[in-house]
Structure formats: C-alpha cells, structure tokens
Amino acid sequence: MPAIEMTNPAALPADWRDILALTKPRVMSLVVFTALCGLLVAPALPPLVLGFTAILCIALAAGACGALNQWYEVELDAKMRRTAKRPLPAGRMDRQSALHFGVGLAGFSVVLMGLATNWLAAVLLAASILFYVMIYTVWLKPRTPQNIVIGGGAGAFPPLIGWVAATGQVSALAILLFAIIFLWTPPHFWALSLFVRSDYAAAGIPMLPVVKGIEPTRRQVFLYSLPMAAAAIAPWPLGLAGPIYGVCAIILNFVFLVLAARVLANRSTDPAQMEPEKHLFAFSVFYLFALFTVLVADRWIA
Amino acid sequence: MMRHEDEVVRRQRERARILALLLGAFVVLLFFITIAKTGMNW
C-alpha cells in the first residue's frame, strides 16, 4: 500500500477490508456452519432461497455482534497482543462508524429474517444479538469468571435459529444442538485462556485462570466436558439421530475427554509447556465441525 | 507519496462500488424471496 501524507488515520473513510474485519469473519464461519447444520437436520426444509436468506441473516447478525463487541471493547483490545491490531484499537477506523455499522447490520438481519422466514426465528436472532452484546460483552465479561459459561449461550443460538427458520418451531433436537454448543464453549475457551492468560490478565478481564488460578480451571475444563459429551451423544439414544451419528459422536467425545483428562493431569504453569491445552483447543474446533457434519450426514444418508 | 485527498477519494470510490454491488445483490435476493414466498402457503 502506498504511503500517504496524513496525521490522523481515523479522518479517512474506513477501508472496506477493515469494515469486513470488524465482523470477525473467522468466528462467523463457525456460526454459519452450525446454523446451516441446524437448518439441514430440521425435518422440513424451506425453499433454497429462504434457507440461504436465513443463513445470510444469521451471518450478518454474527457480524453485527463482532462489530458491536469491538466497538465496546476498544480499550481492552488495545491492551492485548492478540487484538491490538484490530481496526479500532489500531486507529484505522473511528468508533462511531463501528457502532452505526453494527446497529444497522443487526437491525437489517432481524427484519430480513422475519420477512423471509418467520418471526419466531427473527425474535430468536434479536435475542441472540442482545444476549451477546448486552449480557455477555457489557455485563458479564468484565465482571465474572463465569462469563464464558453464560456467554456460551450466545454462540449456541445459531443452530437453534437455523432449525426454527426451517420449521417455525423449537423441538428437542434443536434444544440439544443448543446445549452441545453451550456446554462446549467453556472447555474450548478455558483451554485457550490457560495458555494466553497473561493477555487476559493484562487487559483486566476476569477469565477463570486469572481469577481462580490454573488448577481450578483445568478441573473445570474436564468437568464441563462430561455434560458436553452426554449432550452430544444423547440424540442417538433418544432416537433423534441414527447409528452413524451415535458411533461417531462416541468416538469424538472419547477423544475430547482423553484430551481434557490430559489437561487435568498437566501440572505446568508455563504457557510454552501447555501442549495438552493447545491440543484440546485445536481439537475442540475440529470436534464441533465433525460432530455437526456427522449429524447432517446421518440425517441425509440414513 | 499519495495525497490525503486522493486516498479519501480512492476509498470512497471503492466503498461506493462495493455498496452498489451489495444493493444489486439485495434487490435480486428480494425478488427471489418474493417468488418463493408467493409460491407457498405461509
């Protein structure tokens, strides 16, 4: 990029790449994937264009959440290595633009969802945005080490909304999909926070390893993995999924629990020696993708 | 060295182009949503 004569980068209109970065595209990919799975495992499929619009709305809402999160946390982001180069803390964009973009995108996604699919899906979408921004970002995250537990609820909405967009109602499997992501979030994020805890401590975010210490966090990672595994396997014995899903879910959860047990057994406090935590974090992302993929495959193959 | 005004215009043009594309895509999407909705008893 050519050098330009300027003293205040924020005086420039934001580059479209920075506006895109505001939506946290990588987080959005997981949201889109789980929402799509929720829609695809539903008993009734909507017309293709309505299904596409539902997923688009969920993606836009996730982007709005990312923008509003970055708007609110600009000072925190500036303090953490991992987030200091984001458009707002780096000064490539002004805060008000981020706020307008986030609110506009949120409103647009909810209205479009209601018009294209049904208003229950739109209400759930609005609730998930408000939950993420108001309850998680503004209220819980800076106040309690249990922030991730409750905040996991926001990330658990997409498959439920995908299902409701397709069927117009909430059913047992949709609630189980919600529960799986809700219970998966604590071990996933706490595994990460164990090896980047100095970042969280520097930013003053009361993550569990910062407030309670490393050993209690490792214990919590393992303890949360148990109900998560139960929720993930449950669709099979409950007759909501077939044996393809059941067998794969057992294997995936067995590996998850073994990795969580290795985290529990690790005694190192040096992030460089937290291989079990890094392995669990990496596997947890694969786990969610694999589990939901298998659920869809089971629905369409069986 | 690029002048500040040139960079402002370049970014505005780039954003206007993207916005136009998005608006066009939205119109097409609305058209197909309407077709899909009118073809079903929701």
Judged by DSSP in three states, A159 sits in helix
Candidates B3, B37, B40; nearest CB to A5: B3
- Could you tell me which residues are beta bridge partners of residue B2? A4
What are the pLDDT digits (tens) for A27-81?
A: 888 899 999 999 999 998 999 999 999 999 999 999 999 999 999 999 988 888 8
| Contact assignment for A13 to B2 by CB distance below 8 Å | no
Q: Which residues of A touch B40 (CB under 8 A)?
A: 47
What secondary structure does DSSP assign to A44-98, as a single string?
SPPPHHHHHHHHHHHHHHHHHHHHHHHHHTHHHHHH-TTTTTSTTTTTSS-HHHH
What type of residue is A260?
A
Q: Which residues of B touch A15 (CB under 8 A)?
A: 11, 14
Candidates A5, A47, A116; nearest CB to B4: A5
Calculate how close chain A gets to B22, using CA atoms only, in Å.
Answer: 13
Chain B residue with CA closest to A10: the answer is B8
Percentage of chain A beyond pLDDT 70 is 96
- Compute the half-sphere exposure of residue A9: CA atoms within 13 Å on the CB side of its CA: 13
pLDDT confidence of A9, banded at 50, 70, 90? low
pLDDT confidence of A103, banded at 50, 70, 90? very high
**Token couple for A72:** 């609110």
| Contact assignment for A4 to B3 by CB distance below 8 Å | yes
Residue A13 pLDDT > 90 = no
Best of B33, B34, B35, B42 to disrupt the A interface (most A CBs within 10 Å) is: B33
pLDDT for A67 equals 96
Calculate how close chain A gets to B24, using CA atoms only, in Å.
Answer: 15
What are the pLDDT digits (tens) for A15-29?
A: 889 999 999 998 888
Chain B residue with CA closest to A12: the answer is B8
Q: What is the pTM of this model?
A: 0.87
Best of A1, A50, A55, A169 to disrupt the B interface (most B CBs within 10 Å) is: A50
pLDDT for B2 equals 67
Which residue in the block uniquely carries the two structure tokens 């975010």?
A: A205
The lowest-confidence range among A85-89, A201-205, A209-213, A229-233 is A201-205
What are the pLDDT digits (tens) for A246-292?
A: 999 999 999 999 999 999 999 988 888 899 999 999 999 999 999 99
Give the pLDDT mean for A203-217.
Answer: 88
Which residue in the block uniquely carries the two structure tokens 């409103």?
A: A107
Q: What is the ipTM of this complex?
A: 0.83
Q: Which one has a higher pLDDT value, A13 or B24? A: B24
Q: Which residues of B touch A63 (CB under 8 A)?
A: none
Residue A301 pLDDT > 70 = yes
Q: Which one has a higher pLDDT value, A152 or A279? A: A279
Mean pLDDT of chain A: 92
pLDDT for B5 equals 84
Give the pLDDT mean for B17-21.
Answer: 95
- CA–CA separation, A255 and A263 (whole Å): 12
- CA–CA separation, A297 and A291 (whole Å): 10
- Residues of chain A in Cβ contact (below 8 Å) with chain B: 2-6, 12-16, 47, 49-50, 53, 56, 115-116, 118
**Token couple for A101:** 């973009």
The lowest-confidence range among A114-118, A295-299, B9-13 is B9-13
